[in-house]
């Protein structure tokens, strides 16, 4: 009995090392016929076991531009926290809501600097910064920064923003294209949240003008979903 149990245990633990060869690729969305295998970057079965995928160059080593270099120790620590969080890809890091909320104008300037240093393909990194600033719109520089996000060239491809995507698989296009436009969508989302929770802010002429400028610029953005969202907000608040 013990011998049988031990044998069973051994085979169960080692099952995954004797994989059958993979079949031709099946596109799940068209399960009635086999699609031709497309050349990919994936290693052939069994080869390069345990190879690590090359780390994408999305976040260069934190560079001390003028804005970052001039931070006081407390703000510098907060800025380092941001770069750690972006690198970690742990979006639920509580420090985003504790240490990186209601932050100083100087730290915001460091955010702007870091945003421009991030590769355009780092949609989540850039979107995280856009989220932080749009959640905390206070100064004219904040509004100017957010408006500039809608003046960027749209990112065409998660692998290389300057190159059109090789395919627009409708199965996943929603998620892909949401990410391509994530900094813009996150900015509009936070703006909408701020207006929703504090509509009285619009009674301030300077605030109102700044919001209107952002929305008008966003309505000229080449991506329909971004344009439509901006128009929806503007019409909702009768701007």
Q: Which stretch binds other proteins (CB under 8 A): 38-46, 60-68, 74-82, 200-208?
A: 38-46
Among 127, 143, 145, 146, binds other proteins (CB under 8 A): 127
In this structure, what are the phi and psi dihedrals at residue 104, rounded to the nearest 5 degrees?
A: -75, 160
* 26 part of the interface to other proteins, by CB under 8 A: yes
Number of chain residues interacting with other proteins (CB under 8 A):
85
Q: Which two tokens stand for residue 172?
A: 């996943």
Among 109, 189, 210, 215, binds other proteins (CB under 8 A): 189
- Long-range contacts, 166-174 (Cβ 8 Å, 24+): 170/29, 171/28, 171/29
* 13 part of the interface to other proteins, by CB under 8 A: yes
Among 75, 93, 142, 147, binds other proteins (CB under 8 A): 93
Among 63, 80, 90, 204, binds other proteins (CB under 8 A): 90
Is the dihedral angle over the CA atoms 176, 180, 186, 191 positive or is it negative?
negative
Q: Which stretch binds other proteins (CB under 8 A): 65-73, 145-153, 159-167, 200-208?
A: 159-167
Minimum distance from residue 5 beta carbon to other proteins (Å) = 5
User: 56-68 burial string, b = 16+ CB within 10 Å, else e?
Assistant: eebbeebeeeebb
Minimum distance from residue 190 beta carbon to other proteins (Å) = 7
* 144 part of the interface to other proteins, by CB under 8 A: no
- Residue 231 neighbours by CB distance under 10 Å: 14
Is the dihedral angle over the CA atoms 203, 207, 213, 216 positive or is it negative?
negative
Whichever of 22 and 140 has its CB closer to other proteins, that residue is: 22
CB 231 within 8 A of CB 217: no
């Amino acid at each position: 009995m013990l011998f049988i149990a031990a044998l069973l245990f051994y085979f169960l633990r080692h099952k995954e090392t004797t994989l059958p060869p993979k079949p031709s690729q099946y596109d799940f969305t068209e399960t009635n016929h086999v699609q031709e295998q497309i050349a990919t970057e994936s290693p052939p079965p069994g080869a390069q076991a345990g190879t690590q995928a090359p780390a994408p160059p999305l976040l260069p080593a934190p560079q001390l531009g003028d804005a970052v270099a001039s931070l006081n120790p407390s703000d510098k620590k907060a800025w380092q926290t941001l770069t750690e969080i972006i690198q970690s890809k742990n979006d639920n890091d509580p420090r985003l809501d504790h240490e990186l909320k209601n932050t100083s104008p100087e730290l915001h300037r460091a955010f702007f600097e870091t945003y421009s240093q991030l590769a355009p393909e780092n949609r989540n990194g850039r979107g995280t910064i856009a989220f932080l600033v749009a959640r905390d719109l206070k100064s004219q520089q904040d509004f100017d920064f957010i408006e500039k996000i809608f003046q960027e060239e749209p990112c065409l491809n998660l692998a290389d923003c300057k190159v059109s995507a090789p395919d627009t698989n409708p199965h996943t296009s929603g998620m892909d294209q949401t990410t391509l436009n994530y900094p813009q969508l996150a900015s509009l989302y936070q703006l909408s949240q701020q207006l929703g929770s504090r509509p009285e802010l619009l009674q301030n002429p300077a605030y109102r003008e700044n919001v209107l400028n952002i929305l008008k610029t966003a309505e000229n953005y080449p991506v329909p979903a971004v344009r439509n969202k901006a128009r929806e907000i503007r019409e909702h608040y009768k701007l």
